[in-house]
Structure 1
Amino acid sequence: MLNISLPKQIMIWLTVLVGLTFAMPNGFYGRVETHNDAMVLIESGQTNAELEADAALWPDFLPSNLVNLGLDLRGGAHLLVEVQVSDVHASFLEGFWPSVRDALAAERDTIGFVTREEDGPETELRVRISNPEGANRAFELVRGLGRPVQTFTGAASSNIDVRLNGTLLTITLSEAEMLAMNERTMAQSLEIIRRRIDEVGTREPTIQRQGAERILVQVPGVGSADEIISLLGTTAQLTFNPVRGVAGGPDEQAGTGNIIVPSRDGTDQFYILERRPVVTGEDLENAQLDFDQNGRPAVAFRFNTSAARTFGDYTLSNIGSPFAIVLDDEVISAPTIQSHIPGGSGIITGNFTVEEATELAVLLRSGALPAELTFLEERTIGPELGQDSIEAGQIACIVAGIAILLYMFLSYGLFGIFANIALIVNVGLIFGLLSIVGATLTLPGIAGIVLTIGMAVDANVIVFERIREELKTAKGPARAIELGYEKALSSIIDANITTFITAVILFTMGSGPVSGFAVTLGFGIVTSVFTAIFVTRSLIVIWFSRTRPKTIEV
């Protein structure tokens, strides 16, 4: 007997109601988006009459999740950047020099004096010893400073290669270490870029690796690519260095262990600083916009416990001495230490605007990029292009939908109307699922929805044709409908499982547009099967239980 129990009926239509409720905000996209933006600002502590009015545009008791529009629909910035991993190699060798110097100096009686030759490439550390008889001993000592490189297969070779030519030691990174370092650099760059962009509140950016040393960045809703370039183009390497004096120019001799750094204020001021900083930006625990005693924008910062102790000890023993705050090889300010600074908190002042101070705080919170970024490609996609794409997608969906609705009605009559209702519910459920997971809709995603509309009726067609076949055996309409669903179920499941597996593979192995297409296709398959097997059948059961027809036409 054709029947669906009341609890099952309730579960079916409750699922439909929840899905359509989550899809509903997309029908009021502008209002809901304004409401969401206002709520974010209110939750951050800001409040005024305008924000309250924007927040009231959408009821709080209704879902406010939206399907995010991708770059091709919303417009925004498209950037392709290359990470200069060679900078990290050079930085490692620069930091490795003190260890080499100290190890060789411990056996000066055998090795002699040690000097570093500066004329070599950045990828090499060249060390000259004065005693030829101690060359082999120096070679052994330096090679002993190497550390094993950890790989997926375990510990590999040393992280350094050492060559001896007379009294000249040449130290380079091993190939295994360079590969491992490149992977670490790319992973760190991806994470920092993601944090910087997320800090400014952009919606669903696409940040993914392209090749060995490149990163693709797509940020919807941004008016210009220059905004993202200014955010990402700063390495944000912050250090606090002792000041040893003022230099007359960049070519002046700084002395051993010192560097000459220009001032950031645009003057011709140069400072002689100790190369080794007291603390660095990596030790920061927080940074945020603040104002100094004169009401000018500044950046307040706080170190972690270890760095706070180091910074406090330094200020205690150097009262009256200047120290420099250096950002990306430029001195922001060089104040004099007036008193002991315990607790590790301070403030960075300078000729900042509010926007500049806010951006600097964002950069410091997200961390310093391990290497410089080179922008290979930059494009700003206008929202007009996105609006044209949305309108074209809407037209495609409407045309496909109307054609299928007419076909199903003309082919199957009343049963076709039931299938059409399920098709409309199906599209709503797709948008409900996309809203729940916070997916990003792109042009390929719209193509996936249009394809789903075409595929959605397949299951109903299979069921209706089976019912037609069963009606010819004169088993009665109720038994024909029941057998039609039972015998069609295996075909429906088999056909949709293969397509769903394809969507999973596309999502797992693809990226960008391919992934967006796979998401909408996968969701469409799930909702299509649900609406065909449960929603359409539920409608037929409700109709049949009320009318009890002696014969039916499919």
Structure 2
Amino acid sequence: MKRRSKSKSSVLLLLSVVIIISFAFIGFKGLEVAGWRVKSFDEGITKGLDLQGGVSVLMEIVDEDVSSDVLERTKQLLELRVNKIGVAETVVTVEGDKRIRIDIPGAFNSSEIVDGLTKTGNLEFKDSEGNVVLTGKDVKEATAILDDTSRPVVSLELNEDGQSKFADVTAKNIGKSIGIYMDGEAVSSPVVQNAITDGKAVINGMSSMDEAKKLAGVISSGALPVTVEAASVKNVGAQLGAEALPNALKAGAIGVGLIFVFMIIYYRVPGIFASIALTLYISLVLLLFAEMKVTLTLPGIAALLLTIGMAVDANILIFERIREELSRGISIKSAVKAGFENAMSSIVDSNSTTFIAALILYFIGSGSVKGFAVTLMIGIVLSLFTALIVTKTLINLAVEIGLLKSLGQFRVKRGENNA
């Protein structure tokens, strides 16, 4: 019975180590099997401005007495507006009571972005006498396309109410022009050739496809409930970001490598299992970043390295407690159990206070401070899991199969007494 239990523990330990190492390898390198690809962490994680360059725009609402609902609605419309013009991986956050920051990673023209964001988005169709016959509320969808002559235009599809209005207006204005105005400025004045009953219209006069996309994005997002202006525009060079990321990764790899070396040299066999658990911890954190669409910044990398240090600290507390118990002369199995139990309160207390501090930073901070706080909170939760569950399981399995059976493997000399 004991031999069967030992064999089962051996299989579980080997399987656990193989799964952890394989998971980490696939996460860092990626995998492609029969045309199906698993993205690496580097491909899946969104990188912030400081890692790949881009534009950071701080928009400020000009109107007075802005409610929280209006602020949130403005934020949503600005985010939709930026994404509609083909900008991906944007980070839009509220700062204070009247400001909204928009971070746009990548190399983009800041003046065009600001121009698109500051438009109020008030779309109007006016007949030849200047009467407003349709508004942006009657538009179902706006799309930038190329017409039959390969010129960029904005194709409009009206909703059911707008389709009925447009059919009536065009029937009454055959041979006359219907002006299309954006924020009071005429962008197109097509002449009605016949009644349009399918609810489709075209805005022409675009000089480029990018201009058409920008206008389509503004129309699709709808009119802003308030007037906004750019309080500040900051460009982060792509070269700075390109240099920052490799340097940050190199520093992180060296730091983690030194931690592994220290753990293995100082704590020997238990240090090896702690390093395996830390490998799983780092992989889980990066996986969670990718799945949660967390934007990784340099402060975020700093927070990640900080939580790695906290995870190592938890293992050190556990191993020192085990060594204390072994010095008292009890068995290795009992010492391991007592070591984890005695270290748990210290580990939970220290991590809880740090988590509370991160929570406060998240609620009162903004921008990169929030990113640092989110990274720190995720890291704390996962470090507790790997230290108190994964490391404990690996050590217990190693003790069960006899892989950890001598005091020397814990750096404890026979007869040593710390009292």
Q: Which TM-score tier does this pair reach, normalised by the shorter chain?
A: 0.7 to 0.9
Deviation per residue, 1:174-220 (Å, 9 max, x gap):
xxxx625x655533332221001122443432222334433222111
Say whether residues 1:80 and 2:80 are aligned partners. Answer: no
Say whether residues 1:462 and 2:317 are aligned partners. Answer: yes
How far residue 466 of structure 1 moved from its aligned partner, in angstroms, is 1.8
Code of the aligned partner of 2:65: L
RMSD: 3.4
Within the candidate set 173, 182, 190, 1:335 is matched to 190
**Structure 1 unaligned blocks of 5 or more:** 33-55, 86-177, 245-272
- 2:224 maps to what in 1? 369
- 1:435 maps to what in 2? 290
How far residue 17 of structure 1 moved from its aligned partner, in angstroms, is 4.4
CA distance in 2, matches of 1:339, 1:193: 37
- 1:476 maps to what in 2? 331
SS in 2 for 1:278: strand
For the Cα contact (< 8 Å) 2:52–2:105, is it kept in 1? yes
Say whether residues 1:401 and 2:256 are aligned partners. Answer: yes
Code of the aligned partner of 1:209: V
Within the candidate set 65, 70, 77, 1:179 is matched to 65
Within the candidate set 525, 529, 534, 2:380 is matched to 525
Deviation per residue, 1:430-459 (Å, 9 max, x gap):
212211211111111111112112211222
For the Cα contact (< 8 Å) 1:19–1:432, is it kept in 2? no
CA distance in 2, matches of 1:456, 1:375: 42
CA distance in 2, matches of 1:198, 1:477: 59
CA distance in 2, matches of 1:354, 1:529: 51
For the Cα contact (< 8 Å) 2:24–2:280, is it kept in 1? no
Q: Relative to structure 1, is the Cα distance of residues 490 and 401 closer, same or farther in structure 2, using a 3 angstrom cutoff?
A: same
Say whether residues 1:493 and 2:348 are aligned partners. Answer: yes
For the Cα contact (< 8 Å) 1:205–1:219, is it kept in 2? yes
How far residue 371 of structure 1 moved from its aligned partner, in angstroms, is 4.5
Count of aligned pairs between the two proteins: 404
Q: Relative to structure 1, is the Cα distance of residues 219 and 292 closer, same or farther in structure 2, using a 3 angstrom cutoff?
A: closer
For the Cα contact (< 8 Å) 1:19–1:433, is it kept in 2? no
Within the candidate set 203, 217, 223, 2:102 is matched to 217
Equivalent residues in 2 for 1:144-223, closer than 5 Å = 179=65, 185-223=70-108
Higher relative contact order structure (alpha carbons within 8 Å, sequence separation ≥ 6): 2
CA distance in 2, matches of 1:200, 1:17: 43
How far residue 15 of structure 1 moved from its aligned partner, in angstroms, is 11
Q: Relative to structure 1, is the Cα distance of residues 506 and 480 closer, same or farther in structure 2, using a 3 angstrom cutoff?
A: same
CA distance in 1, matches of 2:282, 2:234: 33
Deviation per residue, 1:246-275 (Å, 9 max, x gap):
xxxxxxxxxxxxxxxxxxxxxxxxxxx23x
How far residue 25 of structure 1 moved from its aligned partner, in angstroms, is 4.9
- 2:363 maps to what in 1? 508
How far residue 341 of structure 1 moved from its aligned partner, in angstroms, is 2.0
Q: Relative to structure 1, is the Cα distance of residues 469 and 57 closer, same or farther in structure 2, using a 3 angstrom cutoff?
A: closer
How far residue 482 of structure 1 moved from its aligned partner, in angstroms, is 2.1
How far residue 27 of structure 1 moved from its aligned partner, in angstroms, is 4.4
What fraction of aligned residue pairs are identical, expressed as a percent?
A: 35
CA distance in 2, matches of 1:12, 1:504: 38
CA distance in 2, matches of 1:12, 1:525: 27
SS in 1 for 2:154: strand
For the Cα contact (< 8 Å) 2:53–2:105, is it kept in 1? yes
Say whether residues 1:240 and 2:125 are aligned partners. Answer: yes
CA distance in 1, matches of 2:190, 2:403: 91
Say whether residues 1:311 and 2:166 are aligned partners. Answer: yes
CA distance in 2, matches of 1:346, 1:523: 49
Code of the aligned partner of 2:38: L
- 1:62 maps to what in 2? 38
Q: Relative to structure 1, is the Cα distance of residues 179 and 5 closer, same or farther in structure 2, using a 3 angstrom cutoff?
A: farther
How far residue 495 of structure 1 moved from its aligned partner, in angstroms, is 2.6
For the Cα contact (< 8 Å) 1:12–1:535, is it kept in 2? no
How far residue 290 of structure 1 moved from its aligned partner, in angstroms, is 3.3
Q: Relative to structure 1, is the Cα distance of residues 58 and 431 closer, same or farther in structure 2, using a 3 angstrom cutoff?
A: farther
Q: Relative to structure 1, is the Cα distance of residues 200 and 333 closer, same or farther in structure 2, using a 3 angstrom cutoff?
A: closer
For the Cα contact (< 8 Å) 1:240–1:279, is it kept in 2? yes
CA distance in 2, matches of 1:538, 1:23: 21
Q: Relative to structure 1, is the Cα distance of residues 351 and 381 closer, same or farther in structure 2, using a 3 angstrom cutoff?
A: closer
SS in 1 for 2:262: helix
CA distance in 2, matches of 1:373, 1:406: 54
How far residue 18 of structure 1 moved from its aligned partner, in angstroms, is 8.0
For the Cα contact (< 8 Å) 1:23–1:428, is it kept in 2? no
- 2:239 maps to what in 1? 384
Code of the aligned partner of 2:193: Q
For the Cα contact (< 8 Å) 1:73–1:387, is it kept in 2? yes
For the Cα contact (< 8 Å) 1:78–1:378, is it kept in 2? yes
Q: Relative to structure 1, is the Cα distance of residues 16 and 459 closer, same or farther in structure 2, using a 3 angstrom cutoff?
A: farther
CA distance in 1, matches of 2:198, 2:357: 57
For the Cα contact (< 8 Å) 1:4–1:538, is it kept in 2? no
TM-score (norm 1): 0.65
SS in 1 for 2:398: helix
For the Cα contact (< 8 Å) 1:22–1:436, is it kept in 2? no
Code of the aligned partner of 1:234: K
- 1:120 maps to what in 2? none
Code of the aligned partner of 1:70: G
How far residue 57 of structure 1 moved from its aligned partner, in angstroms, is 11
CA distance in 2, matches of 1:237, 1:514: 35
Q: Relative to structure 1, is the Cα distance of residues 12 and 494 closer, same or farther in structure 2, using a 3 angstrom cutoff?
A: farther
Within the candidate set 407, 413, 421, 2:276 is matched to 421
CA distance in 1, matches of 2:24, 2:272: 25
How far residue 278 of structure 1 moved from its aligned partner, in angstroms, is 0.6
SS in 1 for 2:201: strand
For the Cα contact (< 8 Å) 1:321–1:336, is it kept in 2? yes
TM-score (norm 2): 0.84
SS in 1 for 2:162: helix
Q: Relative to structure 1, is the Cα distance of residues 21 and 226 closer, same or farther in structure 2, using a 3 angstrom cutoff?
A: farther
Equivalent residues in 2 for 1:263-274, closer than 5 Å = 273-274=130-131
CA distance in 1, matches of 2:310, 2:267: 17
How far residue 405 of structure 1 moved from its aligned partner, in angstroms, is 2.7
For the Cα contact (< 8 Å) 2:24–2:279, is it kept in 1? no
How far residue 510 of structure 1 moved from its aligned partner, in angstroms, is 2.4
